[in-house]
Amino acid sequence: MASPTDKSATALIKDIKSKKISSVEVLQAHLDQVSARNDAVNAVVTLDEDRAMARAKEADAALAKGQYWGPLHGLPMTIKDSWETEGLRTTAGAQEYEDHVPKTDAAPVARLKAAGAIVFGKTNLPAYAADIQTDNPLFGKTHNPWDATRTAGGSSGGAAAALATRMTPLELGSDLAGSIRVPAAMCGVYGHKPSFRTIPMAGHVPGPPGTLSEADLAVAGPLARSAQDLMLAMDVLAGPSEREAAAWSMKLPKARHKALKDYRVACWLDDPYCPVQGALRDKLEDMADALEKAGVKVDRKARPSFSMERSHDIYFSLLAAVAAAGLPPQTFSQLGKALPLLKIAAKFGMVPEALADYAQGATQQAKEWIEKNEARAHLRASWDTFFKDYDIVLMPVLPTNAFPHVTKGSVVKRKLDIDGVTRSYLDLFVWPGLAGASYLPATVAPLGLSSDGLPAAVQIVGPYLHDKSCMDFAEKLGRVYGGFVAPPA
């Protein structure tokens, strides 16, 4: 008999509801899996065993009385440690929040609990969720389940690693610059970055605890081992905030098509501006071939009317503005004063050009931001036109599969080796930024292993608010190519 940890969230909920297995048994199986697997990957950083077990017993008792809490009734799950959880410490991987125990749940956490989910632990992330790898001074590195010398990605790295090793059936992550998509791709699981503002962000750290405003670009979203589980979670999570719900509701459009072959598919699988690793590119091309064999019309030359470079210039400036909001006043002031010298130094190759670009975006005036926001509006209009002819576009999540840990030094100065070529670490933000800049939904689907023995993945990007088309395509793609593969124990 299969272990509960081998099953999807959807299957577990069905089994709990039909009383084939109890919520207590499902929770205990996952706690046992944490005991067996967590030391090797360092994904789960905080457990709430006693309260979770008490809640699981309540879930079973409720079912015995014919009471049903909601679509996630009795399902145990973990939460990325950037989301506030009532009575359970939320550190954001930062020393200043080491003892922070929230009195209330973040908005998405509250929705999951209201639907019947049972939170039994928190998963690792980089400090302040501010890296595309997972390492912090409180809990250390999270390792890739396929190769402990490599990164699990970030910032939802603990979430993806916990899913891959079957320590949890469902996760709640967050994504500003690929933080759901990157670790999902590197660990070989599914993840969904929703359309901007489909899920309230209240209770996310950063900003500081108690922040009421919502940051540009940032979204909440699920990670899982199946696309069906992503859809299940999104049905619970998506909707207006409590304040906005007084006047409007949200009903995301149904998937555009019922059959895989009816989807009009564009493939943007490589680009001279950010070349893709050979092993990954070969896997993506093989996926496109499989889709064509399945009867799907695939256009490998279709592109929106702007260049990748143009999109990334706009995106990086907007991203820098968000990232700089948390800088201490003295650091921010120093960065502004240093900008003229940084521009000159970058021109002569004395510092990375990206450092000057970051300083420019971080210290931009309101007028400059408004101009970039207008430029983004034009990107979004171009995507609107593009998606009249295509339903989704397939692209890499990153220019490379999982790489060896490289967490020392500033992200603007780090280097990567991709196929023997030294590349800027910031190249990792280019492909995620195509969807991020324009607020588009993007689902990550695993494609199996590349020739390098590491998980490969595709990013399925769709029109704004057409999240269900992205997730539906991911589910259908998994029937003909790829899907979750468990890493060796």
Q: Which is catalytic among the residues 80, 113, 122, 141?
A: 80
The answer to whether the CB of 438 falls within 8 A of the CB of 166 is: no
Q: Which is catalytic among the residues 23, 179, 424, 450?
A: 179
Cα separation of 156 and 175, whole Å? Answer: 8
Cα separation of 448 and 466, whole Å? Answer: 26
- 14 as an active site residue: the answer is no
Cα separation of 245 and 253, whole Å? Answer: 18
159 contacts: CB under 8 Å, gap ≥ 6: 43, 78, 80, 123, 168, 171, 172, 173, 183, 223
3-state secondary structure (DSSP) of residue 463: coil
- 179 as an active site residue: the answer is yes
In 13-42, which positions are buried (b, 16+ CB within 10 angstroms) versus exposed (e)?
bebbeeeebbbbebbbbbbebbeebbeebb
- 8 as an active site residue: the answer is no
In 386-406, which positions are buried (b, 16+ CB within 10 angstroms) versus exposed (e)?
bbeebbbbbbbbbbbbbbebb
What does the block give as tokens for 336?
Answer: 């502004």
3-state secondary structure (DSSP) of residue 83: strand
In 116-155, which positions are buried (b, 16+ CB within 10 angstroms) versus exposed (e)?
bbbbbbbbbbbbbbbbbbbbbeebebbbbbbbeebbbbbb
Q: Are strands 297-299 and 264-267 parallel, antiparallel or unpaired?
A: parallel
The answer to whether the CB of 153 falls within 8 A of the CB of 134 is: yes
Q: Which is catalytic among the residues 82, 155, 195, 424?
A: 155
Residues with a catalytic annotation lie at 80, 155, 179
